[in-house]
Structure 1
Amino acid sequence: MSELEPLVSAYAELYLQLMRTMDRRMADQGASLARTKLLLCLQKRGPLRATDIADFFSQSPRTVTEAIDGLERDGLVERKPDPDDRRAKFINVTEKGLEAAAKTEPLRRQLIDQTFGTLDDDERATLLRLLNKASASLKSADAAD
């Protein structure tokens, strides 16, 4: 076992526990973590093609298309023609979609506060710095491939 494996395991366990808890709490309020993540992605990144969304979330295009279909049926996103490619559509979050994502904000904030609120300011700053450093290293290695 590598000396780094406990670190990776602890990070993965925290992430999975955070996602499971968030999904369960959102479901209790009639929301979905997967749908909320997609809406927030569109809110932050602007209109995207389904293929770009699939790449961003490392999901199959079919999975993303099914999710978009459901969001569109519920009026949370809309498809608009891509002016550069007649075959493609841009997915855009609607006002109703923005409102749905905003309703989950207090729940997301509460869980983040519960998770990281036990760390003092210096510990949070150190954790953030270290996570950013590890992320930059991985991005650099990925770009070199």
Structure 2
Amino acid sequence: MTAMAPAQNEPDLSFLLDHTSHVLRTRMAVALDRIGLTARMHCVLVHALGEERTQIQLAEIGGMDKTTMVVTVDALEKAGLAERRQSSTDRRARVIVVTEKGAALAQESSRIVDQVHADALGSLADADREAVLRVLNLLVKGDLETPSESPRPARRARQ
């Protein structure tokens, strides 16, 4: 006797969000790779440009652990896109400073990211596009704002 899976009456929100997120991440990775960046490198460059920020602050913004952040900044330094420097306000802290080359690449990567997002939403009618973004923002600022505490945390998908 074959066991049958129960009928699913509700849409599988986890699958829908996970699948669209995975496809968007892979498209973003391919697009940014064309200019030699990863999504994490893009994130660090863009957020380090705005104001003086430490590695820890940038890691929090990008949702990275310390090890991943160090590897990312090492790659940016090796490529001549960013430098670690002493903070102007706290001599114990090190900040990430974007070089001129890094700033130019951050502008280009921002255009690429915007285009990937536009392409992802491009098949939707204007009203649907606005609705999707409005509803996702409601979820992110509402019920899905904060992950639940768990003794066995759910793993985030690898980038």
TM range, smaller chain? 0.7 to 0.9
CA distance in 2, matches of 1:73, 1:97: 11
Identity %: 25
Query: Which of 11, 15, 18 matches 2:21?
Result: 15
Using the TM superposition, give the Cα deviation of residue 30 of structure 1 relative to its aligned residue in structure 2, in angstroms. 3.4
| AA at the equivalent of 2:57 | D
Instruction: Give the aligned CA root-mean-square deviation in angstroms.
Output: 2.5
CA distance in 2, matches of 1:83, 1:98: 20
TM-score w.r.t. the length of structure 1 is 0.79
- Structure 1 SS opposite 2:80: coil
Asked if structure 2 preserves the Cα contact closer than 8 Å seen for 1:46 and 1:92, the reply is no
CA distance in 1, matches of 2:40, 2:11: 28
| AA at the equivalent of 1:127 | V
- Structure 2 SS opposite 1:86: coil
Is 1:47 aligned to 2:52, yes or no?
Answer: yes
Query: Which of 90, 94, 100 matches 1:85?
Result: 90
| AA at the equivalent of 1:114 | D
Asked if structure 2 preserves the Cα contact closer than 8 Å seen for 1:78 and 1:91, the reply is yes
Is 1:63 aligned to 2:68, yes or no?
Answer: yes
Query: Which of 124, 128, 137 matches 2:129?
Result: 124
Q: What residue in structure 2 maps to residue 74 of structure 1?
A: 79
CA distance in 1, matches of 2:125, 2:115: 17
Distance 1:49 1:97, change over 3 A: same
What residue ranges of structure 2 are gaps of 5+ in the alignment? 1-5, 148-159
Deviations 1:77-106 (A, max 9, x none): 122222443321111222211111222344
Is 1:6 aligned to 2:12, yes or no?
Answer: yes
Aligned residues: 140
Distance 1:127 1:25, change over 3 A: same
Distance 1:54 1:4, change over 3 A: farther
Query: Which of 133, 138, 142 matches 2:138?
Result: 133
Distance 1:96 1:25, change over 3 A: same
Distance 1:86 1:29, change over 3 A: closer
